[in-house]
A and B are shown apart, each in its own frame.
Chain A
C-alpha cells in the first residue's frame, strides 16, 4: 500500500450565516457533506465538480484555513485543525484568480516577503526566487509592481509563490483560470515536473481535458458528496470521453449550484 499523504474521511463543513437585524434567521449551507478520499505520495489528484460543489471548501480545510465541522481531514499524517504546525511548512497552495499577491510590490519583492513568511534562509531563498522567476517566465518584469501585471502574469506569480517553500504537497484551486495556452501548458509542465520530483499535487479544475491528461486519480463531487472516484480511465468507463462521463453523472440537474 502506497503512503497516503492526504486522508479525508466523511468530511463535512457547514457554513452558518445569519440574516436580518431583528428577526435573525439562520441559514446553514452544507458545503461539504461527507466526502472521503485518499491521495498517495507522488500522485496528481483531481478534485472535480460543479460550481458550488464544495471543492474550494475542501481545499481550504486541507490547507489549514478552515475548520471542518466533522470528519477526518489529515495531511502528512497530521490533523489539519489542531496539528497545523506540522503541516504548514511542508505544503503550499495556489488559488486561481487575481488575488493573493501584494499589488504594490514587485514580483521579486512579493516572493522575498513570502520567503520570509516561510522562514527560509536568505541565501537559499535568493537562489530559489531567481529560479522561480525564470520558471514562470517573469524574470524580465520581476521588478515592476504587480499592479501593472496582466491577469496571467499575476497567476504565474502565484504559481511561483506557491513553490517558494519547495512544498511536498501543492494544492491548486483552478490554477489555469485566466492563463493563455502557453501559460496553461507551462503550468501543466510544472505540475508534471513536480510529480517527477516525487511531489504530490491536488488540483481542482473545470477543464476536463486537463484533468484527464494530468491526473492519476480523481473524484467528482456533487452537492458536497463524492459522486464517483477512480482513475480517469475508470471514470470514463464506457463513455466516449471524460466529459460525457461527467455530464452523465452531474449533468441534467441544472439546479446543481443554485443554492444561493
Chain B
C-alpha cells in the first residue's frame, strides 16, 4: 500500500514534469508573480517583501500547480483511458489519488525555491527567516494541509467530466480568499468567514508569522491548532466522500469518455 503510494508519487512527478504546462506553472509562474508582486508592493510603499512577495508568489505557484495537476490529472487519465484501469485494480483507488497528490505537492514546492531565488537575486530582498524552528513547523503543516484540501478536490472532480472548468474556477479565488498576497482582513467581512474555513489561509498566516519576527508562541500555536483541526476535517471529509464516490462514479459513468 505504502509502496503503491510512493510508486504513484514517483510516476506522477515524472509525468507532471514532462508536461510543458506544468513546468510553466512551476517555474515561470512564480518567477513572473514574484516580479509582479514586488513591483506592486514597491509602488505601494510596502516593505514586507518576504511575507507577501516571496511567500505570496510561492503559495500561488504551489496552488496553481496543485489545481492544474492533481485535479487536471484525473481528467488527463480519464482521457488516456487509464482512470478506469486504476479504478478497477484491486488496490485502493484512494491510495493512488493520495500518491498522485503527494507527488505533485512535493514537486510543486519547487515554486517556493523559484520565487525565493527571484527575489533574492533580482531584487536583493533579504531572505532571512527569523524563526527557523517555527517556520519548519509551519511549512510542514502547510504542506499537509495542501495535501488535504487537494484530496477533497480530487475526489469531487472524479465525479464530474467538467473537471477543467472547475479547476479554472478554483484557482484564483482561492488564492485571494486565503490571503496569499494580501492580508485577509482587507476582504469584506462575509468573505473573511469563508477565508477562516479554508485551511490555506491559516497555513499562509503561520508561514508569515515565522518569517517576519519571532512569533508569539501562544498565537502561533492557536493558529496551528486551527489549521490542524481544519486539515483533519478535510481529510475525514475526503474519506467519507471517497466512499460515496466509489459507487457514484459507476452509477453516473464518469470514469471514461468512451
Interface of A with B (CB < 8 Å)? 15, 56, 60, 63-67, 81, 85, 88-89, 93, 95, 97, 99-105, 109, 112-114, 116-119, 161
Contact B89 A88 (CB under 8 A): yes
Contact B81 A119 (CB under 8 A): no
Q: By CB atoms of chain A within 10 A, which of B85, B90, B96, B256 has the most?
A: B85
Residues of B within 8 A of A109 (CB): 11
Write the chain A residue with the least CB distance to B84.
A65
Residues of A within 8 A of B82 (CB): 99-102
Contact B253 A15 (CB under 8 A): yes
- A63-B88, A66-B250, A104-B15 are known contacts. Are A116 and B81 too (CB-CB below 8 A)? no
Interface of B with A (CB < 8 Å)? 3-4, 7-8, 11, 14-15, 18, 79-82, 84-91, 96, 247, 250-251, 253, 255-256, 258
Query: Could you show 25 A-B contacts with beta carbons less than 8 Å apart?
Result: A60-B84, A64-B250, A65-B87, A66-B250, A66-B253, A67-B250, A81-B247, A88-B88, A89-B90, A95-B258, A97-B81, A100-B85, A104-B14, A105-B11, A105-B15, A109-B11, A112-B7, A114-B85, A116-B3, A116-B7, A116-B8, A117-B85, A117-B89, A117-B90, A119-B4
Instruction: Give the complex CA separation of A245 and B138 in angstroms.
Output: 72
Write the chain A residue with the least CB distance to B16.
A104
Instruction: Give the complex CA separation of A9 and B84 in angstroms.
Output: 24
Residues of A within 8 A of B247 (CB): 67, 81
Query: Beyond the given A89-B90, A95-B258, could you list 15 further A-B residue pairs with CB under 8 A, ordered by the A residue number?
Result: A64-B88, A66-B253, A66-B255, A81-B250, A88-B88, A88-B89, A99-B82, A99-B258, A100-B81, A100-B82, A104-B14, A105-B14, A109-B11, A112-B7, A116-B8
A65 vs chain B, min Cβ distance (A): 5
Contact B4 A117 (CB under 8 A): yes
Write the chain A residue with the least CB distance to B3.
A116
A116 vs chain B, min Cβ distance (A): 5
Contact of B88 among A93, A102, A104 (CB under 8 A): A93
B122 vs chain A, min Cβ distance (A): 33
Contact B90 A88 (CB under 8 A): yes
Contact A117 B80 (CB under 8 A): no
Contact of A117 among B15, B96, B250 (CB under 8 A): B96
A101 vs chain B, min Cβ distance (A): 7
Write the chain A residue with the least CB distance to B257.
A99
Write the chain B residue with the least CB distance to A17.
B253
Write the chain A residue with the least CB distance to B80.
A99
A119 vs chain B, min Cβ distance (A): 5
Contact A114 B89 (CB under 8 A): yes
Instruction: Give the complex CA separation of A85 and B91 in angstroms.
Output: 9
Instruction: Give the complex CA separation of A89 and B255 in angstroms.
Output: 19
Residues of A within 8 A of B14 (CB): 104-105
Residues of B within 8 A of A93 (CB): 88
A60 vs chain B, min Cβ distance (A): 8
Residues of A within 8 A of B18 (CB): 104
B34 vs chain A, min Cβ distance (A): 29
Instruction: Give the complex CA separation of A88 and B89 in angstroms.
Output: 6
Instruction: Give the complex CA separation of A105 and B77 in angstroms.
Output: 13
Write the chain A residue with the least CB distance to B77.
A102
Instruction: Give the complex CA separation of A97 and B88 in angstroms.
Output: 18
Q: By CB atoms of chain B within 10 A, which of A63, A85, A113 has the most?
A: A113
A218 vs chain B, min Cβ distance (A): 23
Contact A99 B250 (CB under 8 A): no
Contact B89 A118 (CB under 8 A): yes
Write the chain B residue with the least CB distance to A115.
B7
Instruction: Give the complex CA separation of A119 and B92 in angstroms.
Output: 10
Instruction: Give the complex CA separation of A109 and B18 in angstroms.
Output: 15
Q: By CB atoms of chain A within 10 A, which of B4, B86, B87, B89 has the most?
A: B89
Instruction: Give the complex CA separation of A101 and B89 in angstroms.
Output: 14
Instruction: Give the complex CA separation of A43 and B195 in angstroms.
Output: 60
Residues of B within 8 A of A113 (CB): 7-8, 11
- A66-B253, A101-B82, A117-B96 are known contacts. Are A56 and B258 too (CB-CB below 8 A)? yes
Contact A65 B255 (CB under 8 A): yes
Residues of B within 8 A of A15 (CB): 253
Residues of B within 8 A of A85 (CB): 90
A212 vs chain B, min Cβ distance (A): 27
- A66-B250, A114-B85 are known contacts. Are A119 and B11 too (CB-CB below 8 A)? no
Residues of A within 8 A of B250 (CB): 64-67, 81
A80 vs chain B, min Cβ distance (A): 9
